[in-house]
Amino acid sequence: MKIALYIILGLASALLIFNFTKIDYAAPLDGNSSVAVISVLACLCAILLLAILLISKRIEEKKKRRS
């Protein structure tokens, strides 16, 4: 499962970078640029949730080792 999480994290990061290139910074909320802004926010949320999940898995492993 850990490998799958890292793959999804990499894909979310790639989509984040791709969508940053699609944003028109002169008018970020017009046309296709608004879709890119929403996609950037969604990618940031996904990355944050995956980071929290990875940290919780590490805590779980350390807790099992102590027991």
Residue whose pair of structure tokens reads 């990061």 in the numeric block:
13
Give per-residue pLDDT as tens, 1-38.
889 999 999 999 999 999 999 999 999 889 889 999 99
CA distance linking residue 67 with residue 61, whole number of Å: 10
Residue 10: the pLDDT is 96
The pTM score is 0.86
Residue 1: the pLDDT is 81
CA distance linking residue 2 with residue 18, whole number of Å: 24
Give per-residue pLDDT as tens, 35-61.
999 999 999 999 999 999 999 999 999
Residue 31: the pLDDT is 87
